[in-house]
Amino acid sequence: MPTRKKASQRQAIAAERIPPRAVQLAAARGLAWRAEYGRGGTAVGVARARDLSHGRAVSWETVERMYRYFRRHQIDLDAQGAYPGERGFPSPGRIAWELWGGDAGLRWVLRLRRLRPEGFE
């Protein structure tokens, strides 16, 4: 039978899986840019952005998917147009990055991966 302390820890960790405001705002920005510029991201990225921007808690499986996305696509931030003031801003890669929660999303996912107890779903 789970102890109260373990139940409390599980609740606290579950609350951490609700996207922080900065992640929600980045995802909303990505959706707005995609609508405005007609580029960047995939259907999966758009779906992720909708969930994140609405503050929906993510599963551990989604945390891992987001982690893998950020690992694969960090290189997109080296392309021209990834940052304000550069020609072509926002680049398709930057828009996609924001759809997944942007820099705040990366920080959040890294923190969640450290918090996840072994065997915790």
In a domain, 121, yes or no: no
In a domain, 6, yes or no: no
Report the predicted TM-score, pTM, of the whole model to 2 decimal places.
0.89
- Phi then psi dihedrals of residue 79, to 5 deg: -80, 155
In a domain, 51, yes or no: yes
pLDDT digits (tens, 9 = 90+) for 13-25: 777 899 999 999 9
Number of structural domains (the chain) is 1
In a domain, 2, yes or no: no
Report the alpha-carbon distance of residue 63 to residue 112 in Å, rounded: 7
In a domain, 1, yes or no: no
CA atoms within 13 A on the CB side of 6: 5
The larger pLDDT score, comparing residue 1 to residue 99, is at: 99
Residue-range definition of the domain harbouring residue 94: 15-115
pLDDT digits (tens, 9 = 90+) for 65-106: 999 999 999 999 999 999 999 999 999 999 999 999 999 999
